[in-house]
Structure 1
């Protein structure tokens, strides 16, 4: 594997993980308190369709990036 393929796989896996996290938080399955706050930070109370949709999109893009990077190997 080349450095480009490894980087694509790592970035895609990170995006897929982050997208899954956002999706689970947006659907209300997972609740994580804010870790670092700059201003008035509050955790999401209840489901948030916009975070769920954003998470699903980022998850799909990350999965596609991993698949394309692995396919080139």
Structure 2
């Protein structure tokens, strides 16, 4: 596999995994406290349709980048 393909697959996998995390948090399946906080941060209680939708879009885009990079990218 060419280096361009490997980088594309890694970037796509990162976007897909981040999208999956956002989707699961938006659907209230996973709850996490804030990691870096500069103000009075509290975890979100309950789901968020906005984050679920953003996560679904990011997941689809990430999978698309992985498939494109693995099959045709870098030619």
- In which range does the TM-score fall when normalised by the shorter chain? over 0.9
TM-score, normalisation: structure 1: 0.93
Query: How far apart, CA to CA, are the structure 2 residues paired with 1:60 and 1:50?
Result: 16
TM-score by length of 2: 0.91
Off by >6 Å, runs of 4+ in structure 1: none
Number of residue pairs matched? 73
Residue 38 of structure 1 corresponds to 38
The answer for unaligned runs of 5 or more in structure 1 is: none
Unaligned 5+ segments in structure 2 are: none
Pairwise CA RMSD: 1.1
Work out the CA distance in 2 between the residues paired with 1:40 and 1:63: 35
